[in-house]
């Protein structure tokens, strides 16, 4: 059975890849307003990479990855996350935090208010997929959703997606990349206030593997994701040193992840990567959104939509200036290599 990767063969799909905490949710919300774009939010962040460990999967097995929580997600859902869109507190909600399917946490509610109906509709569709590689399951799923919502192109965006960028680029060689980034110092401050990032950085501090040794290995970041899944399964290992983390630790994490991403992107054809600075979207939303939509496809450019979408970005004041001078210096030094590479003023 031939798998159609996307409904319009002239428009290649796009992944928004970033470190997280850099405005990627805002970009998802912008793209979600376009009548021809299927905006897939937090799919791989919440379903994980486990499906890609298998060469071929039946539709029934693939549905398990989309509908059943793993240990990492189960542990994370103990906390409130702004990325989680499912209305747990709504009267009559079908799911609780204990059993909400990964694809229901954010991806389906991002597409429609009738997400539970869509979930029930989707289950027999995916279960009926033929046995095939995981990437083809995702292609078939995305193509079905595009037809379901009458969209021409799909775009997937998950928060810290540079963690699994190597897998994404290997599994979806036809896709292009929007690399979204933000000043690493403000990104690090935002990471320090987010539980999932505190878990990731604390994990690196807890294990005898130095972060900088990972930079030369494409799959090392995927192994980090695997460590997270293992950590959450064992109660004694969950007590990680969250309270001992400093802002500079998050700066080191941001810098290493950014270096990893820029190395990967340097191997792609220039026309397959669009670098987008978060601060530019805030300062010139109309021109930046136009640049993004032209990269996706010039066919999707629409002046009225651009004007409406330009009202979505909101000014975000920098918190870096509020730090004391010693914290500023330590954080800047931790981020320095990638700040310079990305053209930020130090």
Walk along the chain (346 residues) and give the pLDDT tens digit of each residue.
233 344 455 689 999 999 999 999 999 999 999 999 999 999 999 998 889 989 999 999 999 999 999 877 887 888 777 889 999 989 999 999 999 999 999 999 999 999 999 999 999 999 999 999 999 999 999 999 999 999 999 999 999 999 899 999 999 999 999 999 999 999 999 999 998 888 778 877 665 445 444 544 556 556 555 555 544 444 444 555 556 799 999 999 999 899 999 999 999 999 999 999 999 999 999 999 999 999 999 999 999 999 999 999 998 999 999 999 999 999 999 999 999 999 999 9
Q: Are strands 153-157 and 37-41 parallel, antiparallel or unpaired?
A: parallel
- What is residue 244's three-state secondary structure? helix
Q: What share of the chain is helix, strand, coil (3-state, %, to 5)?
A: 55, 10, 35
DSSP letter string, 163-185: GGHHHHHHH-TT-EEEEEE--HH
Copy the structure tokens of residue 262: 């820029």
Torsion of CA 167, 170, 171, 174, to 10 degrees: 130
In this structure, are residues 27 and 288 in contact, taking their beta carbons and an 8 Å threshold?
Answer: no
Asked if 148 and 65 count as a contact pair (C-beta separation under 8 A), the reply is no
Which tokens in the block code for residue 137?
């399951």
pLDDT at 76: 81
Q: From CA 214, how far away is CA 211, in angstroms rounded?
A: 6
Q: Which tokens go with 119? A: 């979930």
Neighbours of 342 (CB within 10 A): 17
Query: SS3 letters for 187-207?
Result: HHHHHHCCHHHHHHHHHHHHC
* Rounded Cα gap, residues 125 and 277, in angstroms: 38
274 forms beta bridges with: 178
What is the SS3 assignment for 168?
helix
Residue 26 token pair: 């805002």
Tokens of 328: 């500023």
Partners of 52 in the β-ladder: none
Radius of gyration for the chain, computed over Cα atoms and rounded to the nearest angstrom:
20
Q: Which residue stretches of 11-129 are H helix?
A: 24-32, 43-47, 59-67, 71-76, 102-105, 107-111, 115-127
CATH architecture of 14-342: 3-Layer(aba) Sandwich (3.40)
- Give the model's pLDDT for residue 219: 61
């Amino acid at each position: 059975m031939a798998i159609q990767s996307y409904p319009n063969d002239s428009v290649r799909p796009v992944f928004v890849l970033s470190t997280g905490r850099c405005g990627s949710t805002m970009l998802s919300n912008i793209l979600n307003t376009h009548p021809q774009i299927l905006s897939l939010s937090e799919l791989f962040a919440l379903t994980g990479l486990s499906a890609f460990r298998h060469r071929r999967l039946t539709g029934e097995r693939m549905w398990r990855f989309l509908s059943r929580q793993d240990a990492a997600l189960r542990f994370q859902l103990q906390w409130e996350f702004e990325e989680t869109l499912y209305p747990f507190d709504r009267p009559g909600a079908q799911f609780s935090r204990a059993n909400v399917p990964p694809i229901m946490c954010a991806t389906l509610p991002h597409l429609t208010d009738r997400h539970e109906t869509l979930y029930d509709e989707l289950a027999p569709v995916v279960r009926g997929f033929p046995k095939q590689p995981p990437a083809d399951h995702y292609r078939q799923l995305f193509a079905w959703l595009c037809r379901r919502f009458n969209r021409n192109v799909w775009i997937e965006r998950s928060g810290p997606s540079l963690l699994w960028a190597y897998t994404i680029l290997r599994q979806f060689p036809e896709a292009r990349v929007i690399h979204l980034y933000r000043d690493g110092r403000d990104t690090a401050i935002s990471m320090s206030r987010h539980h999932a990032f505190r878990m990731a950085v604390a994990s690196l501090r807890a294990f005898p593997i130095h972060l900088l040794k990972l930079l030369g290995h494409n799959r090392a970041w995927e192994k980090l994701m695997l460590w997270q899944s293992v950590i959450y399964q064992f109660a004694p290992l969950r007590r990680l040193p969250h309270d001992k983390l400093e802002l500079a630790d998050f700066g080191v994490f941001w810098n290493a992840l950014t270096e990893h991403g820029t190395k990967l992107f340097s191997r792609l054809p220039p026309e397959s990567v669009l670098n987008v600075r978060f601060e530019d979207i805030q300062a010139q939303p109309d021109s930046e959104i136009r640049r993004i939509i032209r990269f996706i496809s010039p066919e999707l450019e629409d002046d009225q939509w651009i004007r409406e979408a330009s009202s979505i970005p909101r000014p975000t004041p920098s918190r870096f200036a509020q730090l004391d001078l010693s914290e500023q210096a330590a954080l800047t030094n931790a981020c320095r290599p990638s700040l310079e590479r990305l053209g930020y003023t130090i």
